[in-house]
Amino acid sequence: MFRKLFGFKKDNSPDEPTTKPRSVQLDSNQQVQFLSLFTSPADVAKRLNANHTALWEDKLGAPVFDVIAALTDAELLREATLSEKLEASFKLSELKEMASSQGVKASGKKADIAERIASSSRTGFCDELGGRNILICTDRAQDAVSEHKAAKKLDLERAQLRTLELLRARNFSEACNIVCRYEEAQFYQRGIGVNWKSADQRLFKEITIIFKANPGFHKSRYGGVSQASRELAAMFSLWGTERFGRVISDELLDNNDKNRVLAARMLLFFARNKLQVDQAKRLSQGYRFEVLKVKDRNSTCLACRSDDGHLYDLDNVPELPHPDCNCEVGCRCNAVLVPPSNR
């Protein structure tokens, strides 16, 4: 989609380094990910603060201003117009005040008001914006970003559909492997500190519990666990979301059935709590669990409130979600591991 970039901007703006940028070579994925920062007018200094700059330079393997210069020469980035700079720099309420003070129409959309102010003959107060480094994608780059997002969305939907097929075939190992390989290949990986090279083992354990468990919560509220709830809970576990593409939503969510979604969330809650308790038992160092409820008496049921603050030995930790929970939004209790020194 993008050609390799070797040209550079010669007239550096005040925010850019004055030395000649070095050669930059980015693959199409790196280019489009960086360009996505500028699909709307953005001040470079604000969009790329010190932390973001370090992150992007690590991802791109080049100084960000070298990348900006290369993308500008490739006509993928351009300097924003005055109206675009106004739109990016001020809130709607501020633009309305400016418009009123300049005697131009102050109603309408933000972009329209900014355009009227910029077109006014009395724009001296906007001169200071001229020196600000505010950039936006060119039309060609906007199209490339849109195409890339559409392709990524399609790739995700295909991966999710394949995962669902594998879950139904009880091939949990391959389902977990697909998710991990997908996430590992992403420019932005899901989760903080997640090692997707080895996360398949944890996911496999979680999925196995989901397809075997019969929690008391589900027995008392639904009469048991439906197959659809197990599949939905497993998809929540694997993909970390309750939002899927249209095909999966039509199959699993059944017009966003609240009972099915709640049953799936509580089943995932059960699996994760069981894994946490099992892991604590392996420590075998006198740890205990304290059950904590959500501090909201108006929406927390008696069963959850009555267990709040209780300490349990590892062999007697209560099942969560509470079997007798009748909270409308489901059990929100939390079992916290308490070390021996805090007993």
Mean of the pLDDT values across residues 121-145? 78
Closest CA to 177 of 145, 201, 152, 150: 201
- Tell me the three state secondary structure of residue 290: strand
What is the model's pLDDT at position 159? 94
Residue-wise pLDDT tens digits, 272-322: 999 998 888 887 667 788 888 776 767 889 888 888 888 888 888 889 999
Q: Are residues 244 and 168 in the same domain?
A: yes
Q: Is the same domain home to 296 and 324?
A: yes
- Residue 312: DSSP 8-state: E
Cα dihedral sign for 76, 82, 87, 90? positive
Among candidate residues 70, 101, 136, the one where a domain is terminated: 136
Asked if residue 241 and residue 159 are part of one domain, the reply reads yes
pTM for this structure? 0.78
Number of domains observed in the structure of the chain: 3
Q: In this structure, is residue 144 part of a structural domain?
A: no
Q: 252: pLDDT confidence band, cut at 50, 70 and 90?
A: confident
Alpha carbons 101 and 98: distance in angstroms, whole number:
5
In a domain, 102, yes or no: yes
pLDDT at position 18: 45
Supply the range of the domain harboring residue 236: 151-268
Q: Domain check: are 306 and 222 in the same one? A: no
Angle in degrees, 0-180, between the axes of helices 28-35 and 64-73, rounded to the nearest 10: 100
Q: Does the residue 203 lie in any domain?
A: yes
Provide the pLDDT for residue 166. 97
Clarify whether residues 155 and 88 are in a common domain: no
Is residue 216 in some structural domain?
yes
Residues 104 and 158 in one domain: no
- Read off the pLDDT of residues 53-96 as tens digits, 9 standing for 90 and up: 888 998 898 999 899 999 999 999 999 988 888 888 889 998 99
